[in-house]
Structure 1
Amino acid sequence: MKTATSLLALALVCSPLAANDEAAPPSPAAEAAKAHIDRIASLDDAGPMLNAVIVYNPGAPALAAEAERKGLPLAGRTVLVKDNIETYEWPTTAGSLALADNRTARDAPMIAKLREHGGVVLGKTNLSEWANIRSDDSTSGWSAVGGLTRNPHATDRNSCGSSSGSGAAVAAGFAWAAIGTETNGSITCPASINGVVGFKPSVGLVSRTHVVPISSTQDTAGPMTQTVFDAALLLGAIAGEDSADPATQTVPNRRADYTEGLAQFSLEGVRIGVMRKQVGRLADVEAVFETALADLGRAGAVLVDIEFDPNRDMYRDSYTVLKFELREEMAKYLQSLPGTGLPRTLTDLIAFNKAHADTEMRWFGQNVFEEADQEADREAYETARANAVRIAGEETLDKLLADHDVQFLVAPTRGPTWTTDLVHGDYSIGGIGLGSPAAIAGYPHLTVPMGAVETLPIGLSIIGGKWQDHAVLKAGAAYERARTAVLPAPSFKPWRPAD
């Protein structure tokens, strides 16, 4: 699809977006935008061909200069947007050829807010097709629209998903920041594996309107950046109440500025729960984690070891929820689209994939789509939803925080990235991390780079209670200042052992 991408980018040169590019006065924001575009051209469209960016706007430097001149909060900073979030310039495909013509000419509310704050939408990022919900056997980072996203730290290894392009693009320096979406791990995993900061907010902090859905219970968008401060800055620009999204109307402590207090926050005396069983069995991961714990301790944190085994009914019931809500929410979204000739139900998507199996299903099928299309028992769904949310929230995270008198829980986010294999699908080491309860309950989850195993990045997860987003970001910023680990730079080459 790189040819189509180049043609679309070329068309944008002649559009009003790019018309004033040469006339724009020099500005730091414009120069930064130009540098980002140059990196995309040399590393995404050529060279290692990361395939992180589907399309970008060559006129972005002029837009950046204008936002900077107006004195808007983001001052022309460039942001790449996952291609399941609507922006008026381009189609929103979720990586599927079924939505290749999905040109709504509308911004998702979070994107409208981003522009109002002076952010420049630089382009769209590749993703795991349909946010990795189509099949149990998928390969993260692959979509029929964008091809395979490669990890800039090891181009033969996976970028995780489903916000694969967003994580890889930030790691590669293609933009100041990117927006990803998460249902369960889709921000935090690619952030950890690509060596960047990723923040999954409490569900309801950011609007989901005009975002290709999976689950009304678990879906959220969030920032992916180089630093915790930048994540907080971007969060403040995209968060907000939305009359079309009921989840956004019950936020008790919404803030205009999530950067406030980050630089001053101290971990002195802060009790942090260390999730020992969620470290996994890889000695190298444990060693990286122990260094992070030592850094937290030197910063004054009181570390409390916790031994915990999850109630696995949570995973079973959450899967029922995802399938039921996928069928319902996808139909609502598809039926809202203004175009003609587009699919309108999950059944239509299944039929499209069968009709285009050579391009859509060469590498894996659509068993989850097919199961979800039959998931119509509302009573069973409502029971499963109540169970999953209660177990993940009240009986897991709330109980762990209260029983051990801790403010945060920490664990490695994931293990090191795995070798990409389109034939066999994903393979990753299980038993690492505590991300699922936070995703299922809708609680905040921040991952911050904490080191590497053989040059492959590892993230530190910091999880807090519901609506404790600002507190979690402050803790992440404090850890970032205390961190002693040397973080690896992207090699843009296939993996090789560390020297």
Structure 2
Amino acid sequence: MSLNTLTIAAARDALKKREVTSVELTEACLTAIDAADALNAFVHKTPEIALERARAADARLQAGEAPAMCGIPVGIKDLFCTEGVPSQAASNILKGFRPEYESTVSAQLRDAGAVMLGKLNMDEFAMGSSNESSCYGNAVNPWRRGNDATPLTPGGSSGGSASAVAADLCLGATGTDTGGSIRQPAAFTGTVGIKPTYGRCSRWGIVAFASSLDQAGPMTKTVRDAAIMLGAMVGHDPKDSTSADIPVPDFEAALTGDIRGKTIGIPREYRMDGMPEEIEKLWSDGTAMLKDAGARITDISLPHTKYALPAYYVIAPAEASSNLARYDGVRYGHRAKLAPGDGITEMYEKTRAEGFGPEVQRRVMVGTYVLSAGFYDAYYNRARRVRALIKRDFDEAFAAGVDAILTPATPSSAFGLGEMADADPVAMYLNDVFTVTVNLAGLPGISVPTGLDSRGLPLGLQLIGKPWGEADLLNTAQVLETAAGFVSKPQKWW
């Protein structure tokens, strides 16, 4: 068995028992990464940093007191600023940007002894559901439809993270989730992805997309691994005004495997018209598994769900247009070559036209429009009111005794790269139909792989938890994972 195929939990135990060293684990991952260029998951490789940190981790492990993530090789999404290492958010406008500082989340992982293997592909500025808007080119899903060689999307925006974890290039990876960018790629690749409660992970040093929605989280091979890695990523950060100063439980210790007496809500509004039968069956099978484990199943109503996508696609672009205004060619990143007589306005226009890709330009234009003088109340303020109603729907369900909510994670399995490219952009946005409500309400959500479709592609279910209820949510997710018994791996073709 190759060391890069280990789970975080198994690697941690082997490191503690001195059966393996961090350097050996790291070398196994670096070898796998070099052989997987066809996946285009790692876009900035950092083997020197990785081996240096692995040696330091081995020294800590020898000395005894080492945290759970010490010596574990991970990948970092290109949205996290990493000191001295390119951090481009997959955009040409940030070409050559090497931050002088480290994001809080990647710094916490580093300080816990985790080994950074490199930076991972993603949609430009995290805007996308298929990893097709990246300046590095598409990330590719390691899964295939049977013997069909069509390259599939790993989902987005954390597509590189999902692809790398599914293909055993790293033991875990960081992702970010603004409308489903951790959970949808996890579902498309047969991996586990958790978006914590808004404020649980610091956003400091993560390139902003939509500040009231963005949240970092881990992408891993198992629920236990997600619990271990999440524990190293969360915590209060005075540098982020939205970071919550509340105690962090031991997520791994919460994995008791017992959900007897818990109430699981099944929201009727998530039964969409035209939902594929396979997704419908997956959902009812998952419901039965939780019932068999002793949970009480109840139908619930989240009546404002149908307004979630339109509200999200007003609020997120509005915040994006505000956040991306800083990329003007003045302070850092790309600056366009100017013609004689060009002034500052021409510099702004040319720089942004060259630096931003079409999807980012589309969202900036939508965002600027909904924030403009005549439309602010009609669009942005109305969307904010809808958001409050969506949050209230969840609050009422939890107040009525529901402990977690079970829904599909995605409306389909992974689709082919390019298959959606010519479609109306709204067709692509529909990929987020089950996930955006969780971001709008600031709740924790996790995607767990629970089956394969008729073409042999993974499908995931989503569990939504109470605010700050990640420990409980992970425990329920582990019960679902155990019952589903998903152990499939992609056939190696790369």
TM-score, scaled to structure 2: 0.82
Give the secondary structure class of the aligned counterpart of 2:47. Answer: coil
**Whole-Å Cα distance in 1 between the matches of residues 177 and 329 of structure 2?**
22
Structure 2: distance between partners of 1:337 and 1:451: 50
Residue 191 of structure 2 corresponds to residue 192 of structure 1: no
Aligned to 2:476: 475
Distance in 2, Cα, partners of 1:346 & 1:166: 37
Segments of structure 2 that go 5 or more residues without pairing to the other structure are: 1-17, 145-149, 337-343
Name which of 289, 294, 297 aligns with 2:283: 289
Q: Tell me if the contact between 1:102 and 1:339 (Cα under 8 Å) persists in the aligned partners.
A: yes
What is the CA deviation profile of residues 204-232 of structure 1, one whole-angstrom value per residue up to 9, with x for unaligned ones?
Answer: 11111121111121011110001111111
Counterpart mapping for 1:235-274 below 5 A: 235-248=230-243, 250-252=244-246, 254-255=247-248, 257-262=250-255, 264-274=256-266
| CA-to-aligned-CA distance 1:105-156 (integer Å, 9 cap, x gap) | 21001111111111111110000112126xxxxx721245321111111262
2:304 pairs with one of 298, 301, 310: 310
In structure 2, what is the Cα distance between the partners aligned to 1:483 and 1:42? Answer: 31
**1:421 aligned partner:** 418
Q: How do 1:138-287 residues align onto structure 2 when only pairs under 5 Å count?
A: 140-154=130-144, 156-248=151-243, 250-252=244-246, 254-255=247-248, 257-262=250-255, 264-280=256-272, 281-287=275-281
**Aligned residue pair count:** 449
Name the CA shift for 1:350/1:338 in 2 (closer, same or farther; >3 Å).
Answer: closer
The reply on whether 1:389 has 2:387 as its aligned counterpart is yes
**2-side partners of 1:97 and 1:433: how far apart?**
29
The letter for the 1-side match of 2:238 is S
CA distance in 1, matches of 2:137, 2:101: 25
Moved more, 371-380 or 272-281: 371-380
Distance 1:480 1:350 in 2: 50
CA distance in 2, matches of 1:191, 1:296: 21
Q: Are the counterparts in 2 of residues 317 and 387 from structure 1 also a CA contact under 8 Å? A: no
Question: Which ranges of 4 or more aligned residues in structure 1 deviate by more than 4 Å?
Answer: 334-343, 345-350, 425-433
What is aligned with 1:489?
Answer: 489
Q: Cα deviations across residues 298-330 of structure 1 (Å, max 9, x unaligned)?
A: 211111233555354444333332232212223
The separation in 2 between residues aligned to 1:56 and 1:341, in whole angstroms, is: 22
Check 1:346–1:294 CA distance in 2 against 1; reply closer, same or farther (3 A cut).
farther
Q: Which segment is superposed worse, 300-309 or 167-176?
A: 300-309
State the alpha-carbon separation in 1 of the partners of residues 306 and 277 from structure 2.
25
Q: Quick check: 1:350–1:366 contact (8 Å CA) kept in 2?
A: no
Q: In 2, are the aligned partners of 1:456 and 1:488 still within 8 Å (CA)?
A: no
Residue 46 of structure 2 aligns with an amino acid whose one-letter code is N
Which residue pairs with 2:293 in the alignment? 299
How far apart, in 2, do the equivalents of 1:57 and 1:406 lie?
Answer: 45
Name the structure 1 match of 2:444.
444
Q: 1:491 to 1:197 in 2, by over 3 A?
A: same
Distance (Å, rounded) in 1 between the aligned partners of 2:444 and 2:312: 18
Tell me the CA shift for residue 493 of structure 1: 4.6
Q: Quick one: which amino acid aligns to residue 406 of structure 2?
A: V
**Gap change, CA 1:204 and 1:268, over 3 Å in 2:** same
1:434 maps onto 2:430 in alignment: no
Percent identity for Structure 1 against Structure 2: 28
Match for residue 11 of structure 1? none
1:383 to 1:323, Cα distance in 2 relative to 1, 3 A: same
Q: 1:186 to 1:192 in 2, by over 3 A?
A: same
Matched position secondary structure for 1:222: strand
Measure the CA separation in 2 of the matches of 1:443 and 1:375. 25
Q: Give 1:40 deviation, angstroms.
A: 1.1
Matched, 1:411 2:407: yes
1:57 alignment partner in structure 2: 46
Determine the C-alpha separation between the residues in 1 that align with 2:160 and 2:73. 15
**CA contact under 8 A between 2:180 and 2:432: conserved in structure 1?**
no
In the TM superposition, residue 290 of structure 1 has moved relative to its aligned partner by 2.7
CA contact (8 A) 1:295 1:482 kept: yes
Structure 1 residues 342 and 240 mapped into 2: Cα distance closer, same or farther (>3 Å)?
Answer: farther
Counterpart of 1:40?
Answer: 33
Partner in structure 2 of residue 460 of structure 1: 461
Runs of at least 5 residues in structure 1 that lack an aligned partner in the other structure: 1-24, 134-138, 495-499
**1:429–1:93: structure 2 CA closer, same or farther, 3 Å change rule?**
closer
How far did residue 420 of structure 1 move? Answer: 1.6
In the alignment, the residues of structure 2 paired with residue 108 and residue 225 of structure 1 have an alpha-carbon distance, to the nearest angstrom, of: 20
Q: Aligned partners of 2:237, 2:97: CA distance in 1, in Å?
A: 23
* Contact 1:433–1:461, Cα closer than 8 Å, also in 2: no
Q: How far off its partner does 1:200 sit?
A: 0.4
Opposite residue 459 of structure 2, the aligned amino acid is I
Structure 1's 356 and 243: CA in aligned 2 closer, same or farther, altered over 3 A? closer
Q: Which amino acid aligns with 1:56?
A: K
Kindly tell me: are residues 346 and 290 of structure 1, through their superposed partners in 2, closer, same or farther at Cα, counting changes over 3 Å?
farther
Q: Please tell me whether residue 114 in structure 1 is matched to residue 109 in structure 2.
A: yes
In the TM superposition, residue 461 of structure 1 has moved relative to its aligned partner by 0.5
How much does 1:339 deviate? Answer: 4.3
The letter of the residue matching 1:327 is: S
| Deviation sequence 1:347-381 (CA, Å, 0-9, x none) | 97763353469xx45xx672222232344458637
Assess if the C-alpha contact under 8 Å between 1:314 and 1:387 holds in 2: no
Write the deviation string for residues 58-77 of structure 1: whole angstroms up to 9, x where unpaired.
23234223213313311210
**Which residue number corresponds to residue 127 of structure 1?**
122
Query: Which of 209-218 and 370-379 deviates more?
Result: 370-379
How much is the aligned-residue C-alpha RMSD, in angstroms?
3.1
For 1:332-351, what aligned pairs fall within 5 Å after superposition? 334=327, 339=332, 351=350
2:52 and 2:99 map into 1 onto residues whose CA distance is 24
Letter in 1 for 2:398: L
Q: 1:433 to 1:330 in 2, by over 3 A?
A: closer
Question: What's the counterpart of residue 396 of structure 2?
Answer: 399
Query: What is the deviation of 1:191?
Result: 0.6
